[in-house]
Structure 1
Amino acid sequence: MQRKKNSSNNWETNQGSSRRGGRCSTVAAVCLGLLCVLLLAAIGLLWFKFSGEREDLSKSFSDLDGWRYFRSSMYYISTESKSWSEGRQFCRERGADLAIISSREESEFIVKSMGKGWIGLTDTDTEGTWRWVDGSALTTGFWRSGEPNSKVGDEDCVATGGGYDPVWNWGDYPCNHQFVWACEKRIFN
C-alpha cells in the first residue's frame, strides 16, 4: 500500500502541477491577447495621426508652389506687375513680406531671379531714412550710381535690377509704379 500511496501522491502532485501550468498558460494567453489589442490600437492611432500630418505636409508643399529656396529663406518671385504696396500685401497674405536683402549674394540671387522688381526697402516714414519692411535700418545697400535720387519727385520705394551691373543696381522709384516683386519667408531667424 505504501507504493500506491506514493503513486497516488505522485499522481496528485503531477495533477496539481498540470493544473497550475494550465492556469499559467491561460493567463499568458489573455495577457498576450490584451497586448495584441493594445498594439493594434496604437498602430491605428499612429496611422490616423500620420495620415493627418501627411495631408498637412502635402498642403504646405502645395502652398509653396513657385517658391525658391536660397540660404535660410524661401522666395516667391511674382510674374505680374503691381505697385509696391500691392506687392507687399500679396506677400503678407502668404505669411511673408517683401524681400530684405542682407548680402551681395542675396542681392544677386534676387536680381537673377526677377530682374527689375520691388524689394522691401522704403523711406516713406522719413525722407532719406531707408528702412526695411521689418523696421530695421538699411546698413548695406547696392545702389546704382547716382541713386537714391528722388529724380521724379516722391521716390520712396526701392526696386532692384535697374542698369547692367548684377550687384549695384538698386534705384528709388515712385511706389505706385508697376513692377514684379520678391516675397521672402525666413525659415531660420
Structure 2
Amino acid sequence: MAEDVNYASVVFKNKNRSRPEAKNEEETVYDEVKEKKNSTEQSPDTNDKKADGRRRHYRLLACCLVTFCVILLLGIIAICVYKSNVINLTAEKMNLTMQNQELEMEKRNLTNQINDMTTKGNELNISRAQWSIDAYCPRKDGGRQCKSCQPGWILFQSSCYVVLDYKTSTDRKTWEEARENCKIMSSDLVVVDNAEEKKNVSDNSYHRPGNEGYWIGLKADGRKWKWVDGSDLADSSWIETPTDGHCAISHQTQGWKSVKCNNRNNWICEQKALSV
C-alpha cells in the first residue's frame, strides 16, 4: 500500500506501418496503459472496505461477548441472592418451629394448670358447700336443723349480722383490716339501706367505756359518702359532711360519726341470710 506499482503493457509495433496506423497503435497503447492504471488505483478502496468489514465484525463479537459476560454476572448475582434467601428462610423456619414447640409446651402447662385449678376449685366449692351446710344446718340428735344465720350471727330482715366486739385496742382493727376480716367470713362491712336497718345497727353498736363505736361499710370518697357496694349514701342527714381519709362508725347513743380510717375500732359484718 505504501508504494503503488503500476503495470503497463508495452507493445512494439512495426516501423514500416503507415503514420495513421502508427498513431492508432500509439493511442491503443496509451489506452491500455491508462486502463491498467485506473484498475490499479481502485484496489486500495476495496482493501479499505474489507478492513472496515472486519472491524465491524470484531466490534459485533466484542459486544456479544460483553453482553454475555453481563448476563452471566447477573445470573451469578441472582443465584447468590437466591441462596442467601433460602438460607435465611430456612433459619427463620427453624426459629418458628422452635417457637411453636415452646408455645405448645406452654399450652400444655397452662392446660395442666387449668385442670389443677378446676380440680382444686371443685374441691374448694365442695368444701365451702359442706362448710355452709355445717354452719347453717348443724347436726343435732342425729339430724340437721337449718337456720337462716350461722351461730353467733343476728338475723334481721333478709340479712345476718355479726358484731365483732373486743375490749382491748390491740385486737381492734382499722377500717380496711375490719373489711378484710369480714371478707374472710364471706361477708362485708354492713351496708344500711333504710331507717329500720339503721336502727338495728345502732341498737347493736354497744356502748361501753373506751369503745368509740363500730366500723360500718361507709367511707368518704371524693367528698362523698360511699358504701362498700359502690352506692352513694342516700340520706345525708345520717352523718356529718365527709372528709377524705375518713370512715364512718356507729355508736349506740351518738349515732354515726366520721373518724379517721386508720383508727382502731370494733366492726359489724353483714351477709345475706339463708332461705330455709
TM-score class, shorter-chain normalisation, is: 0.5 to 0.7
Distance 1:113 1:57 in 2: 27
Total equivalences in the alignment: 125
Cα distance, 1:149 vs structure 2: 5.5
1:96 is aligned, of 159, 178, 187, to: 187
When the two structures are superposed, what TM-score results if normalisation uses the length of structure 2?
0.40
Cα distance, 1:60 vs structure 2: 3.4
What do residues 90-135 of structure 1 show as CA deviations (whole Å, max 9, x unaligned)? Answer: 1111111000011111111111112321100112xx3311111011
Structure 2 matches for 1:38-57, cutoff 5 A? 57=133
**Runs of 4 or more off by more than 6 Å in structure 1?**
none
Identity over aligned residues, as a percent?
29
Distance 2:200 2:233 in 1: 19
Structure 1 unaligned spans of 5+? 1-52
Q: Tell me, yes or no, if structure 1 residue 159 matches structure 2 residue 159.
A: no
Q: Match for 2:227: what amino acid?
A: W
Distance 1:54 1:149 in 2: 42
Alpha carbons of structure 1 residues 75 and 61: separation in structure 2 relative to 1, 3 Å = farther
Structure with larger RCO (C-alpha < 8 A, sep 6+): 1
Cα distance, 1:82 vs structure 2: 1.4
Q: Secondary structure at 2:231's aligned position in 1?
A: coil
Q: Tell me, yes or no, if structure 1 residue 77 matches structure 2 residue 167.
A: no
Structure 2 matches for 1:4-153, cutoff 5 A? 57-61=133-137, 64-80=150-166, 81-115=172-206, 116-123=213-220, 126-144=221-239, 147-148=240-241, 150=243
Q: Structure 1 or 2: larger helix share?
A: 2
Structure 2 unaligned spans of 5+? 1-128, 139-148, 167-171, 207-212
Alpha carbons of structure 1 residues 155 and 171: separation in structure 2 relative to 1, 3 Å = farther
Q: Secondary structure at 1:64's aligned position in 2?
A: coil
Q: Match for 1:69: what amino acid?
A: L
State which structure, 1 or 2, has the greater radius of gyration over its C-alpha atoms: 2
Q: Is the 8 A contact 1:142 1:170 kept in 2?
A: no
Q: Is the 8 A contact 2:224 2:242 kept in 1?
A: no
